[in-house]
Structure 1
C-alpha cells in the first residue's frame, strides 16, 4: 500500500474511471436542482436521480463524480466517533443501463488493489443471500474464498416503491488491535476493526405499490466510496479526522486555543470545529446563507455549534473565519468555486458569529429565568428547552451544561419528542412538495427534433403526461404536462416565472399556467384542459400571453441592470442570493452586510435609469463557459452550468449568464423605481422594484400622496419637507414635556412608597403600588426607590388596564443572604394570576387580575420571609 494524499486519491479515482470510458462530472451544488424532495445533497447518486429513474437521457451512460455531501442526521456523533461527518466527499461511478455487476465488481477490486495497492488479503465483501450472480463474480472471477464473502439480509437497497436491488459492500481489515478482542469478531461486528470502504448497489428491480419486484429493462450501477475513509486507510490513521483532509484544520484550532489534542474533551471539540468549518465553507460557497428555515437553518445550526465548541475550548473572540484559508487550501484544488467566494464566505461567517454572540447573552438570560421558575422541581421542561433551541438557536448542550452546574436536569424525553415533531413536519412538507413533481419519462422522445422558437404559433403535441406518467389524451378539467415539438413558451428559471397562454386544437382547448425546463433543457408546459379533449399528435394553435411575457422581460433585464449598479455603488462583494421576476415587480436578494442608505439607493436608481435612457441593445450569445468567464460574465451564486452557456450583455454595463427572457433594448423597460430595501437574513439584503407601467403607476400614486400631504399641512408641494420638519420638532417637544410630567407624577408618589418600608429579618423591604404607564417607568421608579433606601428589596406593582406589572430589585449584598428577585416576583405574580422569574438581583413579571395587586404585594413580602428563613 503506497501513501497518497486525499487530493491524490480523489484524482486517481476519477482518472481511473475516465480510463473505463466514464464521463467525469464536476460535483453538483449542495442545493438540489429540480428536486424539491431533498433539502441538501446527501449522497453521490442524489443529483443523478432523473437518469436512474429513466426520466432523462444522461450526458453519458457511464459517469463518475466526487460529490460534495451534507448529512446532519447524526450530528451529535460528530467528533465522538471515527467516521461521522456533516460534510464528506463521496466518490462514485455510475452506469445507466450500460455495464452491470461484472464490471462494477471487477473495477472496484482493480482500483483498490492495483491503483491504491491495498493488500487483497485484508479485503472482505458482503452480499445479499439470494444474489448468486454477485457471489459468482466475487468467488470465481475475483477469487475470494467463501470465508471472506458474507451474506447479510440487509444487503438490499430500497426506499419504498421504485428502482431497487441488492448491494455488495467491501470491507478493509484494520487489524486485531483495532477490534473488540472477542473471538467472534468478524465482518459485521460493531467494533472498528472491519471498515466499510465501498458500496456497490445493483439496481435491477422495480418495486410496485403492492410490494412485487419486477426486473428492470435497464439495470443500473450506483457505487459509493467515502474519500475520507479511504484516506484514513491509506494514510494509516485511526480516524478520518487525522487524515490530511481534516487534521490541518484541527492543528489551526489547537494553535488558537493553545490546546492539547491528547485531552479527550478538547479532542472532541477540535474535531467538531474542523468538521463543521468544512461544511460551513462549502455550503456558503454553494449559495446557502444562514436563515431560520430550510437549508439556511442547517447552516446556522452547524455554525453556531462550532462556535459553541470554540467557547468550550476557551476561544472568546471571532475565530471561525480564520480557519477558512486552511479549508480552501485542502479542498480548493478540487472545488475552485471556494476560491471565487472566499471573501463572501469569511464575511458571512463573521457576521453570523457576531450575531450568535448576542444570542448567547440573550439565551443565558432566558435560561436563568427558566431555572428560577423551575424552583424546587430540579428539572427543566423539555418543551421550554426546545423553544430556547428552536426559536433562539441556543444549543441544547449549553442549556444542559448551565443547568447541570446548578443541579438541574432537563427532560430529554420531552425535548426529543418536540424535536421529532419538528422533523416530521419538515419531512411532511418536503413530501408535499415532492408530490408536485409531475414530469413523465421523456427518454423516448427524440430531443433533437424538439425546438424552441419564440415566434411559433402552431405546434404538434409530442407528449402528454399526468401524475408523472405518459397519457395519450386529456379531457376537460384535467391538469396535465404538455411537450410540444416547437415551443414558444419561455420556462421558469433564474428567478423568472414561466410564460402562460392558450393552446387550441380542433377538439379542445387548454390554459397554460406555467412553463418549466428539465435539466437536459427540455421545456414542458403545465396546462388545464378548459374545453373538449387534446390528444398526443394534435396540431395546436398557440397564443402566448405576450403582454405578460414583455412585462417579465422588462423586469428581468432590469434585474441585471440593478445587480450591476449595486456592484458599482456598494462594491464587488455584491452577489445575487436569490431573485423573483414576476410581471408586476422584481425582487432581488444580494449579499451585503449593512442596510443600503437612502443616498446609495438613489444612486443605484439613477444608474439603472441612465442605462435605460441610452436605449442600449441587449445582446444574447451562446458560448463555452470558459469564453463566458473571459468575457467577465457574472454567474448566479450557487448555480451549476453546462459547457455551453447563454450570456446576456448590456454593453459594458452588465454581463451575466442567464437563461431568462429579456427586452431587445433597454428603452423598452421604460423606467425603474425602487420600492423597498430590507434585510432578510445574515448578510443578505432585498430590494423590490418596478418597471414600465407599474413604475409609472407608482409615480402617480406618490405624486397624489404628496399633494394630499401638502393639503393637510396647508402648504405648497415644494415646501412639504420643511413643513414636516417643523411639525416633527413640535411633536418631539410635546412628547418630551409629557414624559417629564409623567416622571414628575410618579416621583411625587415617592413619599407614599417610602412610607411602606418594613424591616424583615434585618433587611429593608419596600412593597408598594405605583402610578406609571410603562415597564420602563416602573423600572426607573424602582431604581430611584433603591437609591433612597440604600439596599434591601424593592417590589413595585402597577395596574394598567386589565393587566398588572411587577418589578423587583434586590441589592447585590442582600442576594448573598438568600434573597432572589426572581423567586419573590414569581410569588407576587402568581397571586395576581400570572407568572414570572428572573435574576437574583432583578426581575419583572405580569399578572392578569389588577384587583389582586394588594394580595400580590403581600405574597411578595411573604416570599422574602421564607427566603430569609
Structure 2
C-alpha cells in the first residue's frame, strides 16, 4: 500500500468518526516562541486544549509536517529515525477520552491496515490502571503484551516545555530478533531497535506552567501521533523507513547522481532525509542563516556535505544537492501545494548555500586535516577550545560539524573551552557609559539645524588622539537605521576639533573627535557644526533608497521587502528578498522609475514623532519597528512612497540630481543587493567613465562609435594567435613527453620539471598524455615572480594527493585533489630546494 493511500485512509477513518480534517500547519509555529519548529501534530492545537480560544470543533484529525533534531545522530544509521516527518494524528478537545482512542487505534492498525496482531505490543504509564484495563479487558490483549513503563517512556510533553501534557499509551511493532539486543529483558521501552514505537496515544490532562507546575487542563482530551514513515515501513514490510516509497524515489535520484556501493547507504539515507527537511522548511519561508531556524537549515545542508567527505574521502567537485528539491516537490506537491508553489525558488536557495559552503569547506577541510595531523604527531587526543574556536571563526566549521569529523579520527573536543571563547567574543567588554548631566535628555535638533551652541555633558579619552563626547543639544545624526553618522567639528575658544564619527552607545548619542592635544571639554560651552556638504549627500542617498524600494515593488512585485540597507555619502546599498539575479532589462527599468521620480521634483513631506498607530493608518511601510519605539517619523514622497523612517532626507526629489545602479549581487540565499550612486558621487562616476572612454579612443585611435568594433577586431586577432599557439602546443606536448626523464626510486620513476612557459591547462593536457604510462610520479612546476604552482600526476600506487599536501605545506601554501592527480602552490623557492624536499618525502614514504 502506497504512503499516499495510508495518509488518505487514516484521515478518512477518523473523518467517519466525526473528526474534522485539519490541514497541516506550517513548520514555523504560529505565536509560539517556545519552539523553533513544529515538532508534533498537537502544536497547532495547543490553544484549544488550554481553552485560550473558543473551540471551533471537538474532534480533529491531521497529517502534520514536523521537524525535530532530537535524534539527529541516529538518522541514516537507524531504521526508524528522521528529522522531517509526517505525523498522523487524531485529537479530542473535551470530548472522547481513553476508551474510544485506544479502541479506534487498535481497529485502525489491525482491521484497516491489516497489521499482524501477534507483532503488536502496548505500553501504559505505570500508574494508569484505566488504560491498562481497557487494553486487557475491553480490547482483549494478553497481559504479557502490556507493559507498564515510567514517566520517561509514557508521559508525553509538553511541546516546548509549557502547555498540554499527560500520560500516554504506546503501540509497538516487533521488527524481529535480528533488530534486537538479544537480552532476556528486551521488550517495549528497550533501547535497541527491535520494538518500533508506532502509534502514541497521549491523554492530555494537565497544563504545564513555565515554572513546571501542572494545572488541570481546561479541555481534557486525546492527542495521538503516528509517523507516516514508520507506518509505511510496517505496512510495506521494509527493514527501514528509507526503503519505503516516501524515500525510495529520492534515494534512486541521489544514487543516479552519485553512484556508490552498499557501504555508502547511510550517506544516501542522510542526504534524502536532510533534503526533505530543507525543502519543506524553505517552502514554509525559512532561509539558511547563522541563528535560529535558519541555523538548523544551514547545519543540515553542511552535514550532508561533511558526510559526503566522510564516505567518499573527497569533497564534491560541484554542487549536487540543489538537483533534489524538484523531485521532492513533484512527489509531495499534491498533498502539500506550497511545495509546487516554490519549486523554482527552493533549488536556487539551496544551490547558493551549497556553493558558498563548498568554497569554504575546501579550505576548512585542508586546515582540519593539518590540525588533526599535528595533534596525532604530538599524541594529543583532545583538540583545545582555542583550536576549535579558530576553525569556527576563520573557516566556518561549526561545533556540530567538528564533532562529526572528530569521531572519524577518535579525537575528543574541548567544547567547554570552545564555548568560553565564543562567549568572550560576544561579550560587550566596554564599561557602561555614565553621563554627567543635569538630568536633561539629550535633544537632537539635526533635522532642522546643522549648527548649535551646546554644552558638553560627557567627555572621555579613548586613545592617544581620540576623545568621545556627548553634547546637548546635538545637531549630529548618529548612525542608525542603516544611515551612517555625521561628521563635522566642535569649536571651543576658537580651536576646532574634527568630528570623525557619530554613533550611539547604550542609547546615548556620541561624537568622536581627533586631537593630539590633552584637553578637557566637560561642561564647556561649544559650537557644534555638521559637515553640511556630506550631510546633503547622505540625505540624497536616503531619499533615493526610498524611491528604489518602491521601484523594486513596481518592477519585481509587491512581495519584495527590504532586508537591510546602508545609506552613506552619495552611495547606498539595498538588500531585498528575491530568488534569482536581476536581468539587465529589469535593472534598467528600475533605474528609469527612480530617475523619473527625481525629474518629477516630488515634495518630500516629513512627519515627526507620530504615534505608531497613526503612521500605520497613513499607510506607511514600517521596517524594523523595534528601532523606533511608540513614536515614529514618516517620510512621504508625493503619492509614490510612504515609509516609517528616522533618517535625514532632501526636501524635493530633484535635489538627488542623478541616480545610477552600479552593482547587483546575491548576499545570501534568497537575498539580493543593489548598490547605487547618487548626487555628486554619481556625477563623478559619469565623469570618470567619460574620461576613460576618451582614453580608450586615444589608445585605439578610433571614435566612440567605433570602439566596440575595434575591440572585436582585437579579440579576433587574439583568438587567431591563440589558435596558432594551440596548434604549436599540440605538436610540442608529445615532444615534451618523449623527452621527459626522471630518477628511479625503487620501482618509481620521479620526474620533476619546470614548465613555467606553459599555461596550467596545457600542463594538465601533458598529464593526460602521461596517464597511460605506469609507475611514474611527475611533478610539474609553474613559477612567477612571487609564487610557484605545481601539478602532480601519479600512475603508481604512490598518492599524488599526499605529496601535494606535504609540498603545499613546505611552500607555506596548500594542496589538494585526488590520489592520481593533485595541484597546489605556495611561496617561491628554488628548483633545487623543491627537488630536495620531494626526494626526501618520497624516500620517507617508500
Which piece of structure 1 moves more, 332-341 or 352-361? Answer: 352-361
Of 30, 53, 60, which residue of structure 1 is paired with 2:27?
30
| Aligned partners of 2:546 and 2:641 also within 8 Å | no
Cα distance, 1:141–1:165 mapped onto 2, change above 3 Å = same
Cα distance, 1:355–1:248 mapped onto 2, change above 3 Å = same
Secondary structure, counterpart of 1:83 in structure 2 = coil
| Aligned partners of 1:386 and 1:419 also within 8 Å | yes
Of 560, 566, 581, which residue of structure 1 is paired with 2:556?
566
Higher RCO, Cα 8 Å, sep 6+: 1
Correspondence list, 1:580-595, <5 A: 589-594=576-581
What CA deviation, in whole Å up to 9, does each residue of 1:331-385 have, x standing for no partner? Answer: 2221122222222223333333333432333223433553565583255863535
Residue 144 (str. 1) matches residue 144 (str. 2): no
Correspondence list, 1:220-369, <5 A: 220-259=221-260, 263-310=261-308, 312=311, 316-367=317-368, 369=370
| Aligned partners of 1:167 and 1:202 also within 8 Å | yes
**Shift of the alpha carbon at 1:268?**
1.5
Alpha-carbon distance between aligned partners in 1 of 2:296 and 2:349, rounded to the nearest angstrom? 15
**Shift of the alpha carbon at 1:827?**
11
Correspondence list, 1:624-635, <5 A: none
| Aligned partners of 1:127 and 1:150 also within 8 Å | yes
Correspondence list, 1:327-726, <5 A: 327-367=328-368, 369-370=370-371, 374=375, 376-379=377-380, 382-383=383-384, 384-385=387-388, 388=391, 392-393=395-396, 412-414=411-413, 416-417=415-416, 562-566=552-556, 576=560, 589-594=576-581, 600-607=586-593, 679-686=666-673, 702-703=678-679, 722=690
Cα distance, 1:238–1:807 mapped onto 2, change above 3 Å = same
The residue that corresponds to 2:65 in the other structure is: 68
Secondary structure, counterpart of 2:115 in structure 1 = coil
What CA deviation, in whole Å up to 9, does each residue of 1:676-721 have, x standing for no partner? Answer: 96533134214699xxxxxxxx9xxx547679x69xxxxxxx9686
The residue that corresponds to 1:94 in the other structure is: 91
Alpha-carbon distance between aligned partners in 1 of 2:325 and 2:103, rounded to the nearest angstrom? 39
Which piece of structure 1 moves more, 368-377 or 268-277? Answer: 368-377
Q: Which runs of 5+ in 2 are unaligned?
A: 428-543, 567-571, 601-618, 620-633, 643-651, 699-777, 817-821, 828-833
| Aligned partners of 1:301 and 1:393 also within 8 Å | no
The residue that corresponds to 1:507 in the other structure is: none
| Aligned partners of 2:204 and 2:223 also within 8 Å | yes
- TM-score, L = length of structure 1: 0.54
**Shift of the alpha carbon at 1:98?**
3.1
What CA deviation, in whole Å up to 9, does each residue of 1:132-188 have, x standing for no partner? Answer: 232233233323232222111131224556543211111123344544444433222
Residue 21 (str. 1) matches residue 23 (str. 2): no
The residue that corresponds to 1:114 in the other structure is: 111
Secondary structure, counterpart of 1:367 in structure 2 = helix
Q: Which runs of 5+ in 1 are unaligned?
A: 429-553, 568-573, 615-647, 649-660, 690-697, 711-717, 731-790, 795-805, 829-834, 846-859
Secondary structure, counterpart of 1:342 in structure 2 = coil
**Shift of the alpha carbon at 1:86?**
1.9
**Shift of the alpha carbon at 1:15?**
1.6
Cα distance, 1:424–1:607 mapped onto 2, change above 3 Å = same
What CA deviation, in whole Å up to 9, does each residue of 1:465-492 have, x standing for no partner? Answer: xxxxxxxxxxxxxxxxxxxxxxxxxxxx
Alpha-carbon distance between aligned partners in 2 of 1:33 and 1:322, rounded to the nearest angstrom? 31
Cα distance, 1:213–1:365 mapped onto 2, change above 3 Å = closer
| Aligned partners of 2:27 and 2:66 also within 8 Å | yes
**Shift of the alpha carbon at 1:35?**
2.6
**Shift of the alpha carbon at 1:243?**
0.9
| Aligned partners of 2:549 and 2:562 also within 8 Å | no
Cα distance, 1:200–1:581 mapped onto 2, change above 3 Å = farther
Alpha-carbon distance between aligned partners in 1 of 2:163 and 2:580, rounded to the nearest angstrom? 46
Alpha-carbon distance between aligned partners in 1 of 2:381 and 2:410, rounded to the nearest angstrom? 6
**Shift of the alpha carbon at 1:90?**
0.9
The residue that corresponds to 1:527 in the other structure is: none
Q: Size of the alignment, in residue pairs?
A: 591
| Aligned partners of 1:321 and 1:346 also within 8 Å | yes
Secondary structure, counterpart of 2:412 in structure 1 = helix
What CA deviation, in whole Å up to 9, does each residue of 1:508-549 have, x standing for no partner? Answer: xxxxxxxxxxxxxxxxxxxxxxxxxxxxxxxxxxxxxxxxxx
Residue 169 (str. 1) matches residue 166 (str. 2): no
Cα distance, 1:129–1:48 mapped onto 2, change above 3 Å = same
| Aligned partners of 1:808 and 1:821 also within 8 Å | no
Alpha-carbon distance between aligned partners in 2 of 1:65 and 1:612, rounded to the nearest angstrom? 54
Cα distance, 1:591–1:413 mapped onto 2, change above 3 Å = same
**Shift of the alpha carbon at 1:191?**
3.2
Secondary structure, counterpart of 1:93 in structure 2 = strand
